[in-house]
Amino acid sequence: MLTDIPTWVAVLTYPNAEQTVVNHLRKEAPDIECYLPMMANRDRRYKRHDLPEKPMFPSYLFVRINARQIYQVRTTHGVVAIVSSQHSIIPVPERDIEAVRLFEATRRQFYLAETSSLVKGSRVAILNGEFAGLEGTLIKGNRDGNFSVNITVLNLSFIVHIKRSELRPSAPATTPAP
């Protein structure tokens, strides 16, 4: 449930209406913060890299709203719904928004390298660089000490290449004693 404290929420839009919704909200409700993460649009068939960017989450964008702004967002042209479950709006954690911003800002490959205790399928924590503080699953490593790590944020998987020195095995989750 939303309060008077602004909270990030996901907004479902009609197909290809994400930017239209952002434009309407910026014009009609400038006090609502909008975030539409974009990514490179690469057409592999034609090897063109000059295509316009596309939304990272098709038909979704994020807005930071409080309880009084729900109606304003829901009635914006192009909005289908605010993402909810059992009639309760689901907030998006600030750290997830920040992680998406990191991926959007970097737009380049990364290289990880670290210890022999890193094995395929293990959970790893990223220590340095743009993705510091995030965790992922080790996909593969090579002899040069570079690793591919799968990081999942908001059900979207990103594969980054990182140097071994920027990784460490994640601490296993602790369970409270009975």
Do the domain assignments include residue 1? no
Q: Are 24 and 76 in contact (CB under 8 A)?
A: yes
Determine the Cα–Cα distance for residues 143 and 15; give it in Å rounded to an integer: 44
* SS3 of residue 111 by DSSP: coil
Q: Tell me, yes or no, whether 157 and 107 share the same domain.
A: yes
Is 2 among the domain residues? no
How confident is the model over 121-142, as a mean pLDDT?
Answer: 84
Give the bridge partners for 135, in sequence order. Answer: 125
Q: Is residue 31 part of a domain?
A: yes
Domain of 178 in residue numbering reads as 95-178
Q: Please give the tally of structural domains in the chain.
A: 2
d(CA 134, CA 127): 8
Strand 54-55 relative to strand 33-35: parallel, antiparallel, unpaired? unpaired
Do 111 and 178 have their domain in common? Answer: yes
Residues 36 and 86 in one domain: yes
- Residues 101 and 63 grouped into a single domain: no
The structure tokens listed for 115 are: 């210890």
Residues 108 and 82 in one domain: no
CATH for 19: 3.30.70.940
Q: Is the pLDDT of residue 176 over 70?
A: no
Element (H, E) at 100: helix 94-106
Last residue of a domain, one of 92, 111, 133: 92
The predicted-structure confidence for 2-60, as pLDDT tens digits, reads as follows: 788 999 999 999 999 999 999 999 999 999 999 999 877 655 555 555 567 788 888 99
Do residue 177 and residue 105 come from a single domain? yes
Question: What is the per-residue pLDDT across 145-166, written as a single tens digit (0 to 9) for each?
Answer: 678 888 888 888 888 888 877 8
23 lies in the same domain as 101: no
The C-alpha atoms of residue 8 and residue 10 are separated, in whole angstroms, by: 7
**Among the three residues 92, 116, 143, which one is the final residue of a domain in this structure?**
92
Mean pLDDT on 97-102: 89
Domain boundary pick from 92, 112, 127: 92
Task: Show the tokens assigned to 22.
Answer: 């952002």
Which pLDDT band holds residue 1 (cuts at 50, 70, 90)? low
111 pLDDT tier (thresholds 50, 70, 90): very low
